[in-house]
Structures are given as structure tokens and as C-alpha cells.
Amino acid sequence: ASCLVGSEMCIRDSVMEPLDLGFTTLKNRVIMGSMHVGLEDRPWHFDEMAEYFAERARGGCGLLVTGGFSPNRAGDLLPFGSKLMHNWQVHFHKKVTKAVHAEDGKILLQVLHAGRYGYTPLNVAPSAVKSPITPFKPKELSSKQITKTIGDYVRCAKLAKKANYDGIEIMGSEGYFITQMLNKRTNKREDEWGGSYQNRMRFPLEVVRQIRQEVGTDFILMFRLSMLDLVEDASDIDEVIELAKELEKAGINIINTGIGWHEARVPTIVTSVPRAAFADITGQVKKELSIPVVASNRINMPDIAEDIIASGKADMVSMARPFLADSEWVNKAAEGRADEINTCIGCNQACLDHTFQMKRASCLVNPRAGHETKLIYTPVTKAKKVAVVGAGPSGLACATVAAQRGHTVTLFEARDVIGGQFNYASKIPGKEEFRETIRYFLKQIEVLNIDLKLNTQVTSKQLKEMGFDEVVISSGVAPRVPNMPGVDHEKVVTYQQVLQDDMQLGKRVAVMGAGGIGYDMCEYLTHQGPSLTLNKELWMKEWGVDGSNVNRGGLKPMEIEESPRKVYMLQRKTTSFGKDLNKTSGWVHRAVVKMKGVETIGGVSYDKVDDEGLHITITTGKDDKQTVEKRILEVDHVVLCAGQVSVNKLHTELDNDMGKKFNVHLVGGAEFAGELDAKRCIKLASELAVTL
């Protein structure tokens, strides 16, 4: 195969090359990895699920994998969670396979038994060892029940075949049931399923052998193998390779990579994890096998995928979230339009955070994800002249969707760059991915012929003279400046000033506010030099990862880089710090702030700032146990991260103007600063653009 267009940005030989599995051929090397999106649990959502997958197959992906389906009730991830165990369910799954096959795609059903990770009091496991991330202690399975569970896997595989799936993926990583069987940490059994590694491997190997026997040879069996457990008392590289070889012998066609148990102390998928951080371990396993091996985790752009495959670390790449962000990822990459890809920024805000809140997964940068049949960007019959004022995430989303639908759009921005708050986010070490969203929108502005007017503080008078039909105000937010004596002291700066002007701050800094931005600022202030996210080796050192998994579980002591300054983070509340940060990434931010020795002080009231520093009163305890302490933090700077206020003067002016001949709309932080959140901004702005 050769490069389709010869562009530097295109995927060249490796990724687009078909992969022959003997009985079937995959059209390229890209897998849409399994991800629970919340459409799997109820049969009445299967039409939507069919369209969700069909759109990704249409977008060129070679092989798709469904979210996890349990082979039986005991393996439920949630009460009444997705499972495939009855004949009547086949009919619903056929909707999905039919839709994908109609788009020339192939799809596997993922079989996932949650074991002790089941968020239900009925969960089961090899031994009665409670997981640290679920409140329910599992019931230990008897030997007979284990044999029966193997039968349930086989039944599930046969039903998947009947539903016309091209194969199944057996989930053997992330700390779910099979991983629990494999490791002494969770398998304390003394019968034929526990003790020696041979015994602990028996379960997955029996599952695979018996499934292969029942489904025949023309059915893809992929196994997601935990190559790096990242928890104590787990497998090492020799065991991983031994299992991989045995799985190959038992009839597996493809080995996929799994990294880290859900309870691991090391982040594995959040935005601050370096791209393709774990591809080397996949390479180590691949060397030992003759079947194709798949790399996964934090692969989000074509050049990364190409590197992995061209360098021989893997035969394929698996990406889950990047297909939520852009269903056309493969087609764009193949056609040399990688710069048009809406990149997954690893934020988890609309996907995994939703899953954990039992809400349908979507995507922060693509609110259509998971809502393909509802949020449709229908072309307009009559183009209107649309003005969008403010090129932050809301303005960009509104302008691009409106232009995509066929409107003629002018986008005004007072600054010399687009991106609004994303420009600040992208300066935080570990948040470099946010630049990709700005790049994506910049390219869309070009592709969609949006008239971008930078350095333009447009006035209501000018808008009225320009003959627009619709005017959308997305003028964003400004940092909140609290009312406090000395707030105008030279020590006091806003987070925006610090990041925009790359200000050099002193050796002692107080961060006022402990929301998302307060945490970001602490990470910014406690780090110096290039971001570790851009240097895999240093990142692994800091998080204590033995990437070659010689140490059991792939862990070693953390080597934490020293902070260049003393940082205090303050809040008025007495609740625990960072409790409102996002579910799946908040723990990483809390861990970093702790690792870097940031001193957190709650129950604070701010008295004043003067040459001495920040004067505070700290109140702790309640009623007669209450203590009040006065303290002076002798800091060089106080950084305000105390939330935001809307900037909506222009909207108020236009709203009150009876002489205007256009409709006025308000979106984003300019509308609700209190709930400023890019996910909400992009979603509401896209929905607004659909109504224009």
C-alpha cells in the first residue's frame, strides 16, 4: 500500500494496510476499542446504538468493538446492566451488526464479566476480597460455579455469532473477573483455579478453548490482555508472555492491550498521560507471538498510530474515545486530512465521567456522539447571514455548526487568537491536548469559509450596519475579583494574567480558590521545565512505572520532581479539597497537588493583602469545638482562581435595542459563568446552531 495523497499529514503505508486473518480480512489497522456508552443496557436503545456504530463504520474504521456485555447475571457491571445470555436478545443485536455490515464494517461483541468490580451486592469473584473501588464484598465462586461461568462465556459467544457479530473480544484486563482469576492479589484459592500460575491461567484458557470449539474457525476471537497491571502483587512480563502464548495456542486470533486495573494509583488514560505511553510493552509481547497484537491507550492522532505500527511495536491500534470525538477519524487520516480531525483531548468529561454517573456517554468536543439520531446538523434550505461574537469554545462550536449547515458566518474575536479559555488550559502542564481543539477549529474556519475577524471588538452599531439575520453573543467570561482590602496590591494577579503573559511568580505563592482552575494553577506553579506529558520516560519515573514490567505489576517507587516554589491553595469552604473535580480525572489532580507538597487550607476568610503577604482567618470545627486562627501567609504573589463572571455587555445593549433587525442569542460563559464548563458550552452552542 502507498500513501493515498502523498501529503505529510496522511497515514502512509502501515495503518491503512489491510490485515489478513486467514479466514477474513480487516480493511485497515484501526480498531474502535470497547467503551460502555450507556446504549447497551436497554433493548430500546439498540436503534440508536446501531446508528452510533454505523457512523463510525462509515467513517472508515476497520473493526469496531461494542461496550462490554456480561455472559451472565453474576458478571453484571451494574444491576440490570448489559448482558447477552438469552436467545431473545439476539434480535436486538442484529440491528447493530446489520447497520455496521451495511457500511462495510466489522464488529465484535465484547464479553465482560465484572467480577468484584460489579457495582452490585450480587457480585462474585475468585475469592471474597473486596475491591477498593466498590462498596460490595464479592461472594467467592465455588469450583462448580466457575465451570458454569465458562459455559456462560461459551453461550454468550454462540449468541454473538447468531447475532452476526464478526467475533468477540474477551475482556481480560483492567482488573475485571479474568484479571482477578489470574492474580494472587485477588485469587486466594487453593483448588484447581488458584495457587500456581498454571492454575490461575486455567480459567481464561478454558474459556477460549471451549469457545473456539463451539464457534468454529471463521469467527474472530480477540483477547484483551493485561500487559501492565499497575497494582501490587500482580503479573510480571514473563507471566504476561506465557499467557499470551497459551492464548494463541488456544485459538485467539488477535491480542489487544489492556493497561492498569481500575484501582491502580497510576493514571492510564487521562489527558496528562503521554501519548502512546504504553506502546513499548505491547512491542515486548508482540515479539513473542505470531498472531497480530494491538496497542492501546492515549493514541489519538494518525502520526502516533503510524509510528507504533511502522516501528513494529504493534500490528494494529485501538482507540475508543477518539472515535467519540470524530467518527471520520480513519477517512480523514487516509485522505491526508489529519488536520481536520476533531482530536480526543483525554478530558473524560463527557464520556467516562458520564458513564460513572450512569448517564449516556458523549464527547466534550463532539456533542453528537451518542446522540447521532437526535442532534443532526441538517443542511439549510436558505442560507442566513450569521454573526458570532467571541471565538471561545462556544463561539467556535456555534460558528462551525452553523457554517456546516450552509449559513454564511462571520466570527468576531477581540483577541489575536481563537480558543478563549482553552488557550489558558493548554498552558497547564499535562493539558497540552487542548491545543488540538484550537487547531481543529482553526482548520474548520478555513474549510467552512468562515469569515474570521481577529483583533475586532465589534460594536452593536457595526453589527446593525452589517445586515446580519442572526447574532450570537459568546463573549465569554472574566476572572472574578473578590472584594477584599488590598486586592489591587501588586502581589495580586488573576490566573488569566499569569497564563496569558507567562508571568514569572515568586518563590511563595497563594492560590485563592480550589476549583478546577485553582488545581490547574497549582500544577502549573509546582512544575518547571517542559511538561512531563511530553516526555514518557520522565513521566514514568515520576509516577513510578516500570514500563517493561520486570517488577511485578509494573510498579516501582515514585521519583517526584521537586516543586520550584512553596504553594498554598485556599478555599472558604470546610469541605474536602477537590471533591467537586471530575470523577475520573479529579483523583489525578488531587494526587499531583499532594505529591508536590501544596499546602491546602480550608475554612479561610480573606482579610487583606499587603506588603507582608496574605492575611487570613482560619475557622475550623463547629460550635464549642470551633477554633479561629489568624495567619499571615508571607507570599510574593496571590493568584485569583475564584471563579468567573460573565462578559455580556454587548448582549445587554443589543437586547435592549428595539431598532435591530436580527435575532440575538446568548451562549456559553457569557450566559452562565457560574457553571462555566466547556462540555456544556459546546453542547448548547451546537444545539443553538441547529435552530438557526
Question: What is the contact surface with ligand NAP in residues (CB under 6 A)?
Answer: 480, 482, 512-520, 571-573, 581-582, 589, 641-644, 676-677
Sheet of strand 492-494, all strands in order from the earlier edge strand to the far edge: 492-494, 637-640, 508-512, 566-570, 599-601
- Output the CA torsion 252→254→257→263 (10° steps): -40
Whole-angstrom Cα Rg for the chain: 27
Q: Provide the b/e sequence for 37-76 (b: ≥16 CB within 10 Å).
A: bbbbbeeebbebbbbbbbbbbbbbbbbbbbbbbbbbbbbb
Measured CA to CA, the distance from residue 479 to residue 420 in angstroms comes to 13
Torsions phi, psi for 296 (to 5 deg): -145, 180
SS3 463: helix
> Residue 588, interface with ligand SF4 (CB under 6 A)?
no
Least distance from C-beta 651 to ligand NAP, angstroms? 20
- Name the residue nearer to ligand SF4 (CB basis): 257 or 348: 348
Residue nearest to ligand NAP (CB): 515
- Name the residue nearer to ligand SF4 (CB basis): 338 or 363: 363
Measured CA to CA, the distance from residue 652 to residue 664 in angstroms comes to 10
Measured CA to CA, the distance from residue 166 to residue 220 in angstroms comes to 6
- Name the residue nearer to ligand SF4 (CB basis): 256 or 355: 355
Least distance from C-beta 639 to ligand SF4, angstroms? 26
Of 324, 401, 445, 593, the residue at the interface with ligand SF4 (CB under 6 A) is: 324
> Residue 371, interface with ligand SF4 (CB under 6 A)?
no
Measured CA to CA, the distance from residue 219 to residue 166 in angstroms comes to 6
> Residue 325, interface with ligand SF4 (CB under 6 A)?
yes
Least distance from C-beta 320 to ligand SF4, angstroms? 8
Which residue type is seen at 318?
S
Measured CA to CA, the distance from residue 219 to residue 561 in angstroms comes to 49
Measured CA to CA, the distance from residue 313 to residue 296 in angstroms comes to 11
Of 81, 194, 204, 346, the residue at the interface with ligand SF4 (CB under 6 A) is: 346
With 0-12 / 13-18 / 19 or more C-beta atoms within 10 angstroms meaning exposed / middle / buried, residue 483 is: exposed
> Residue 341, interface with ligand SF4 (CB under 6 A)?
no
Least distance from C-beta 421 to ligand SF4, angstroms? 15
User: Residue with C-alpha cell 482553526?
Assistant: 442
- Name the residue nearer to ligand SF4 (CB basis): 152 or 520: 520
The sign one gets for the Cα dihedral 99, 101, 102, 105 is: positive
Least distance from C-beta 105 to ligand SF4, angstroms? 20
> What do you get for the CA distance between the two ends of the chain, in Å?
44
- Binding at 514: pick from ligand SF4, ligand NAP, none (beta carbon under 5-8 Å per type): ligand NAP
> Residue 268, interface with ligand SF4 (CB under 6 A)?
no
Of 154, 351, 614, 650, the residue at the interface with ligand SF4 (CB under 6 A) is: 351
Q: Which entry of 176, 440, 495, 524 is annotated as an active-site residue?
A: 176
Least distance from C-beta 270 to ligand SF4, angstroms? 8
- Name the residue nearer to ligand SF4 (CB basis): 72 or 349: 349
- Name the residue nearer to ligand SF4 (CB basis): 84 or 325: 325
Torsions phi, psi for 622 (to 5 deg): -130, 155
- Binding at 346: pick from ligand NAP, ligand SF4, none (beta carbon under 5-8 Å per type): ligand SF4
SS3 555: strand
Measured CA to CA, the distance from residue 271 to residue 430 in angstroms comes to 6
- Binding at 515: pick from ligand SF4, ligand NAP, none (beta carbon under 5-8 Å per type): ligand NAP
Least distance from C-beta 603 to ligand NAP, angstroms? 9
- Name the residue nearer to ligand SF4 (CB basis): 347 or 592: 347
Helix axes 143-162, 90-102, angle to 10 degrees: 50
> Residue 299, interface with ligand SF4 (CB under 6 A)?
no
- Geometric angle at alpha carbon 684, from 681 and 687, rounded to 5°: 145
- Binding at 345: pick from ligand SF4, ligand NAP, none (beta carbon under 5-8 Å per type): ligand SF4
- Name the residue nearer to ligand SF4 (CB basis): 89 or 585: 585
User: Residue with C-alpha cell 469450583?
Assistant: 143
- Name the residue nearer to ligand SF4 (CB basis): 153 or 440: 440
Of 344, 438, 509, 666, the residue at the interface with ligand SF4 (CB under 6 A) is: 344
> Residue 321, interface with ligand SF4 (CB under 6 A)?
yes
Least distance from C-beta 146 to ligand NAP, angstroms? 41
Of 327, 349, 526, 600, the residue at the interface with ligand SF4 (CB under 6 A) is: 349
> Residue 428, interface with ligand SF4 (CB under 6 A)?
no
Strand boundaries in 33-78, DSSP class E: 63-69
User: Residue with C-alpha cell 444491576?
Assistant: 79
CB atoms within 10 A of CB 325: 26
Examine the residue annotation and report whether 568 is marked as an active-site residue of this protein: no
Least distance from C-beta 584 to ligand NAP, angstroms? 10
SS3 197: helix
Q: Is the Cβ–Cβ distance between 505 and 665 less than 8 Å?
A: no
- Name the residue nearer to ligand NAP (CB basis): 163 or 517: 517
Least distance from C-beta 264 to ligand SF4, angstroms? 18
- Binding at 332: pick from ligand NAP, ligand SF4, none (beta carbon under 5-8 Å per type): none
CB atoms within 10 A of CB 664: 20
If we measure between CA atoms, which residue out of 528, 526, 482, 521 comes closest to residue 500?
Answer: 521
Of 363, 401, 614, 667, the residue at the interface with ligand SF4 (CB under 6 A) is: 363
Quote the cell numbers at residue 446: 478555513
Measured CA to CA, the distance from residue 490 to residue 486 in angstroms comes to 9
Candidates 358-366, 538-546, 556-564, 569-577: pick the segment binding ligand SF4 (CB under 6 A): 358-366
- Give CA 2 to chain center in angstroms: 32
- Binding at 365: pick from ligand SF4, ligand NAP, none (beta carbon under 5-8 Å per type): ligand SF4
Least distance from C-beta 558 to ligand NAP, angstroms? 22
Candidates 120-128, 147-155, 168-176, 361-369: pick the segment binding ligand SF4 (CB under 6 A): 361-369
- Name the residue nearer to ligand NAP (CB basis): 161 or 589: 589
Of 112, 146, 347, 403, the residue at the interface with ligand SF4 (CB under 6 A) is: 347
- Binding at 571: pick from ligand NAP, ligand SF4, none (beta carbon under 5-8 Å per type): ligand NAP
> Residue 345, interface with ligand SF4 (CB under 6 A)?
yes
# chain residues binding ligand SF4, by CB under 6 A? 14
Q: Name the DSSP class of 607.
A: E
Measured CA to CA, the distance from residue 125 to residue 139 in angstroms comes to 6
Q: Which sequence positions are flagged as catalytic?
A: 176
Binding site for ligand SF4 (CB under 6 A): 321, 324-325, 344-351, 363-365
